[in-house]
Amino acid sequence: MSTKTPRKADILRPIQNTSSKYFILTGVAGLAFALFLVGWLYQLYQGMVVTGLSDWGTGGGVTWGLYIGAFIWWVGIAHGGIILSAAVRLLGMERYMPVARLAELLTLAGLSAAGFYVIVHMGRPDRMVTSVLGHYHITVHNSPLVWDVTVITAYFVLTATYLALTIRYDVTRLRDQLPDRFEPLYKLMTIGYTEKEDQIVQRMVWWLALAIIIMAPLLLHGGVIPWLFAVIPTMPGWFGAVQGPQFLTIALTSAISGVILLSYAFRWAYDWDHIITDDIFRGLTLWLGFFSLLFLWLQLQQMTTGTFAAPIDATQITIATLTHPIYILSMGLVGIVLAYIFAQTIRPALFTRMRAVACGVAVLTATLLEKILFVVEGFMYPTMDVYGATPGEYFPSLIEFASILGTIGMVVLFFLSIAKVIPVVELHAIEHLQEKQEHGREHEPARHD
């Protein structure tokens, strides 16, 4: 365990110092995002025909594929991130305070990537205005798709407000050490700030955290997002009440994995071993194991009810999914992670940070594959037989594959940029660590030489 004392200078290091590794990572992430933008421009010029997607009754196959699967994945990461941060504040989980803001920023980045997928998948971006916003007063009453856009927008605003309230404290106290080129932005962030508002803000943040915890299972990744699928009875692979809790567990496992990766990256880049400690990684890994167990349990429930004396159409989609190599791979990855975490609890010496990172990568890969397969297989096995004789299959195009790397690059660029403007670790977290360290020293037994 590190004995270094956390200081303000530590959380200012990403803002003040820029290494060659920073520029290399920026270049790689920018190239990935640029390649996807080129592919998207080609898609806009040629039409959706350049993707692996097709229309029922003409080319067979599916109308939703990797784009929608990745959209669900990013929304899940985003929703799980803010749930993690809200739980830290609401339940007093001070152990995780150093990574709370990373989780909040992951929410904004994830929602941005998810929103981008909506625009890309619409084929023509102008449809967002003509079909959604232009007729919002009509569509909001009967379209789960519009409900989806609504709650994502509301969640983005809620998270941005939540983040902005906590940033005011940091910016005010660190202003003399922040770059002058962002002075107009810092003034905007701290308009009307006085120290008297600190206690009020803490209460506001607590209530916002409570609202987030309540909204998550009712309206977000436990409600509206799965309702896009769960309320369609002609799609036996989607229909059913299990989708809400299933989506929520996937969101939490994905978000915890994302926070593990971000925490490791910042700790490695800025020598934050005394801020983002091994204890945090151990705790996050245990939570990852808990929600991975729930994820596999709900998958078991779904597969059991789909194969045991189920209607023919439900049996068909369940067996097709259960025997698909992608499903076997994704469940296998989560199972291996769960087995390692269980072994780690019995024998703590098995823990290492790199193994925690490997668990995060494995779970993120598994949840992405599972969501893409969920979308595609659901379309491939509908109850209605109207298109039963229409041949067709689906395999993602290069543009669709590039969208995964492109949006990951987009999120990386977001963190590289935001880390140059505001501290990605709260000043409150540093102050808490300092108090904890001082308290520990006061209670150390006196040494007699």
CB 118 within 8 A of CB 71: yes
Confidence band of 203 (pLDDT split at 50, 70, 90): confident
pLDDT over 80 at 291, yes or no: yes
pLDDT over 80 at 400, yes or no: yes
Q: What is the DSSP string of 221-286?
A: IIIIHHHHHHT-TT-TTT-STTHHHHHHHHHHHHHHHHHHHHHHHHHHHHT-TTTS-HHHHHHHHH
pLDDT over 70 at 268, yes or no: yes
Distance CA 394, CA 173 (A): 55
Count Cβ atoms below 10 Å from residue 201 Cβ, excluding itself.
14
């989780």: which residue's tokens? Answer: 103
Give, in order, the Cα–Cα distances in Å from 67 to each of 71, 303, 326, 362, 365. Answer: 6, 25, 17, 20, 15
pLDDT over 90 at 195, yes or no: no
Weakest-pLDDT range from 2-16, 53-67, 329-343:
53-67
- At 31, list the tokens: 């190239």
pLDDT computed for residue 2 by the predictor: 53
Average pLDDT estimate for 120-144: 78
Distance CA 430, CA 413 (A): 25
Confidence band of 211 (pLDDT split at 50, 70, 90): confident
CA torsion through residues 227, 231, 235, 236, sign: positive
Q: 345 or 3, which is more confident?
A: 345
**What would the pLDDT profile of 381-394 be if each residue is shown by its tens digit?**
888 766 665 667 88
pLDDT computed for residue 218 by the predictor: 73
Average pLDDT estimate for 113-121: 90
Half-sphere exposure of 416 (CA within 13 A, CB side): 19
Q: Please give the model's pTM, rounded to 2 decimal places.
A: 0.91
Q: What is the DSSP string of 331-378?
A: HHHHHHHHHHHHHHHH-GGG--HHHHHHHHHHHHHHHHHHHHHHHHHH
Distance CA 78, CA 76 (A): 5
**What would the pLDDT profile of 405-420 be if each residue is shown by its tens digit?**
999 999 999 999 999 9
Cα–chain center distance at 247: 12
CA torsion through residues 319, 320, 325, 331, sign: negative
CB 377 within 8 A of CB 316: no
DSSP state of 31: H
pLDDT over 60 at 224, yes or no: yes
Cα–chain center distance at 442: 40
Mean pLDDT computed over every residue of the chain? 87
85-94, 160-169, 245-254, 357-366, range with greatest mean pLDDT: 357-366
Weakest-pLDDT range from 49-58, 102-111, 206-215:
49-58
**What would the pLDDT profile of 27-43 be if each residue is shown by its tens digit?**
999 999 999 999 999 99
Distance CA 129, CA 116 (A): 15
Give the list of residues 6+ apart from residue 114 with CB closer than 8 angstroms, or none: 71, 74, 75, 78, 152
Q: Which amino acid is at 302?
A: Q
Instruction: Tell me the percentage of the chain whose pLDDT exceeds 90.
Output: 50
Give the residue among 70, 68, 163 at the shortest CA–CA distance from 108. 163
pLDDT computed for residue 57 by the predictor: 57
pLDDT over 60 at 58, yes or no: no
